[in-house]
Chains A and B, each alone.
Chain A
Amino acid sequence: MATLQSYLMVTAILFGLGLFVVTTRRNAVGVLMGVELILNAASINFVAFAHFRGNDVAGNMFSIFIIVLAAAEAAVALALVISLFRQFGTIDVEEATTLKG
């Protein structure tokens, strides 16, 4: 029987991997993928806590919300990436530094 700690361990590793991807990838699509990993880590956390609290519906609901939110976010972010590509001819986030002070 898996314990809550094992779940939390998996999600922590998943979150850490996501964070690592987001911070190190120069490719915008890669960054997005990292964001998905972070979101999924959070989602798993919610489900796990819901299960160990006696199948609390609220936790599952949050997880579903996060999935929907992630879909919407991916749509918007991909549109931004296309726009970024049109503007700069690249999707390297290191190149898009127009907001540099």
Chain B
Amino acid sequence: MLNMVWLVPILPLIGAFLNGGYSFSGKKLVRPLVHTIACGAILGSFLVTLLTFIHFLGLPSEERSVTVTLFSWLNLTNVKADVAFLIDPLSLVMMMIITGVGSVIHIYSIGYMSHEKSYARYFAYLNLFCFAMLCLVMGSNLLILFVGWEGVGLCSYLLIGFWFHEKKNAVAGMKAFLVNRVGDFAFICGTMLLLWSLVSVGQGTVTYTELKGAVHLLTNQTVMGFPVLTVVTLLFFIGATGKSAQIPLYVWLPDAMAGPTPVSALIHAATMVTAGVYMIARLNFMYSLAPDTMNVVATVGYATAIFAASIGFTQNDIKKVLAYSTVSQLGFMFGAVGVGAYTAGVFHLMTHAFFKACLFLGSGSVIHAMSGEQDMRKMGGLKDHLPITYKTFLLATVAIAGIFPFAGFFSKDEILWHTFNKEPVLWCVGVLAALGTAIYMLRLVAMTFFGACRADEKTKHHIHESPATMTIPLIILAFLSVCGGLLGIPEALGHLVGWEHSNLLESWLEPVFAGPHHEVEAGHTMEYLLMIFSLGVALGGCYLGYTLYTRRQDIPERFVRRFPRLHRLVENKYYVDEIYQKFIVDNLLRLNQWLALFDQKVIDGIVNLTGSITKVGAFISGWFDRVFVDGLVNLSANLTLQGGRGLRLAQTGRIQDYLYVVVAISLLILFWRFS
């Protein structure tokens, strides 16, 4: 099975090329052909991944790490990097998520994009994205990861600006790309620094399996007075904050909602934005050696979680709420990896992929039904019109809110439990963020599905349940949101029903995150208590959210009236965009203007001066040419002419004249000879 694993990324690439070429050729659009190619490619990838997964299940856990080398890429004296795929439990989990959720979203797109003119272009981008993302997670070294890292950034840009004829969308795409570049720059600096330090200790490598054995050599190395590992991991983390939308580089993600909704689901919720979490999980052996970085990661993660959740309260665009929710949930994941709970982070990544994809696709279905309306203030009462969407959306909401036994409960609870053991302060923040999640999600559901419909008559008349290609993916994802958590039942709960090693995901990922086993054996009592507490928080949040936005709408209104300043601050997203605009973007633009002015005045001045000097020189040399050179030429011509004119007199044409000359010269010779 493993010799076929290269098909996993290649199939979507082929699909992207076929559809891209088709779109480019300008031939008549045959929709079934386009989506058969695209969905076939990603389903093929999923199939190969699934077979590989089954193959791996049959292996003992220590053999579950295989490097499949395709060809040698870089072969320098100190460094060697192959185009190779590392297939191990972690990359398999990611591959399953990408190809599985990816397939579902491809199928959903058939229905959602059915009226789109650039159908082939859309599917080409989507397939290209899957290729890049699979490269990112499957690559066996940091360079391949970086190729994928940039590739997904590119696809994200292309898909956010998919409807680029509207300036707003093009600008959003550009913003995403530029903000990501900041992170990417840090990332590549980190890679360089890591490589440089490793070469200086004689162990130059970028391959994970070799890095794992080599990084401990760097523990005492410093760069400019800072420990190398801390700097490297921090630089990597800055890269992750760009890609995974954490403070301070999260600003692009809410704007990224300008893209088509399935894209938001796939790229900006389920897969691409989790790349940072994956990267840290993949390099866990390095992060574990840099405790300072870990603290930063956890703090930034939880800060983002609570910060984004608070903004989620005030947004009225259905997709914007989900976007901030995504930022917040990604914060949870970083919180998890930051406290060393890599399994919990990956677990939440997985469950989040399920329920957030479901929520986004559900919102897409709602938007589809509402003829493109995204403002929740103009929705309401949709639960009777869109029964399937409503039910799946509700299940996913319950899952994200963290209610037992849905997926979110297990993953979020595991994160909070590990955080509690490490940093009780962060735990408090996490619980608050979880409470916020429950409230704003219920607010979303209440405003969209409950109450009376606030749409205008024309839209209202048009409301319809989405076609099967859209509802079936919703049902699949809702099912996964409900059951996905069962993969990681904490051992404390498994213990109750007499099931040892109930945390399937943990034992599956154990070879990757092999480290000191959780020494926290303080008994399960505390864990039960925390579980009940967070369940209570989730239920309370749900109840609060439901009540506040259905029966007691007067309370939030009164709150807004009471604290108008606070409300305005949060509604305007703490003015972060404006601050960036004022302090960074404007200054950069001003710098650009200065540079343009410099270019215009100084550089152009030099160029023009050179031009003028040449012109004067040319004039002088032209004058010299005209007067002296031409004079000489004319002089010689004139001399010849004058000489000819003189000599012509001698040539009379009369033979007798010539004879006189002959005789005269003969006589002269005679006299000269004989005198």
Contacts and interface: CB of A to CB of B under 8 A. Distances in A.
Contact of B653 (A22, A24, A31, A101): A101
B659 A22 contact: yes
B660 A23 contact: yes
A19 B663 contact: yes
B496 interface: no
Interface stretch (B25-33, B191-199, B643-651): B643-651
Contacts of B659: 22-23
A100 B652 contact: yes
B656 A101 contact: no
A98 B652 CA distance: 9
Interface in B644-675: 647-656, 659-660, 663
Contacts of A99: 651, 653
Contact of A97 (B648, B649, B654, B660): B654
Nearest to A24: B656
B652 to A, nearest CB: 6
Contacts of B650: 101
A35 to B, nearest CB: 11
Contacts of A71: none
Nearest to A98: B653
Contact of A100 (B647, B651, B656, B660): B651
Contacts of A93: 654-656
A25 B660 CA distance: 13
Interface residues of A, number: 13
Contact of A101 (B651, B655, B660, B663): B651
Most A C-beta atoms less than 10 A away, residue of B648, B656, B660: B656
Contacts of B654: 93-94, 97, 100
Contacts of A94: 654
Contacts of A101: 647-653
Contacts of B653: 96-101
A24 B652 CA distance: 16
A interface, by DSSP: helix, strand, loop or mixed? loop
Nearest to B648: A101
Contacts of A31: 655-656
Nearest to A99: B653
Nearest to B647: A101
A96 B654 CA distance: 7
Contacts of B647: 101
Interface string A68-101: 0000000000000000000000000110111111
Contact of A23 (B648, B649, B651, B663): B663
B77 to A, nearest CB: 87
Interface string B192-213: 0000000000000000000000
Contacts of A96: 653
Contacts of A23: 656, 659-660, 663
B671 to A, nearest CB: 16
Nearest to A22: B659
Interface string B379-415: 0000000000000000000000000000000000000
A67 B491 CA distance: 149
A94 B659 CA distance: 13
A64 B652 CA distance: 36
Interface in A1-35: 19, 22-24, 31
A41 B228 CA distance: 126
Nearest to B663: A19
A22 B656 contact: yes
A42 B653 CA distance: 28
Pick the most buried of A19, A24, A98, A99: most chain B CB atoms within 10 A of its CB: A99
Contacts of A22: 656, 659
Contacts of A97: 652-654
Nearest to A96: B653
Nearest to B650: A101
A95 B296 CA distance: 122
Interface in B333-389: none
A100 B651 CA distance: 6
A66 to B, nearest CB: 19
B655 to A, nearest CB: 6
Given A93-B654, A93-B655, A100-B651, 20 more contacts: A19-B663, A22-B656, A22-B659, A23-B656, A23-B659, A23-B660, A23-B663, A31-B655, A31-B656, A93-B656, A96-B653, A97-B653, A97-B654, A98-B653, A100-B652, A100-B653, A100-B654, A101-B649, A101-B652, A101-B653
Interface of B: 647-656, 659-660, 663
13 contacts: A22-B656, A23-B656, A23-B663, A31-B656, A93-B656, A94-B654, A97-B652, A97-B653, A98-B653, A99-B651, A100-B652, A101-B650, A101-B653
- Across the A-B interface, the 10 shortest Cβ-Cβ residue pairs: A101-B651, A100-B653, A97-B653, A101-B648, A99-B653, A23-B656, A23-B659, A97-B654, A100-B652, A93-B655
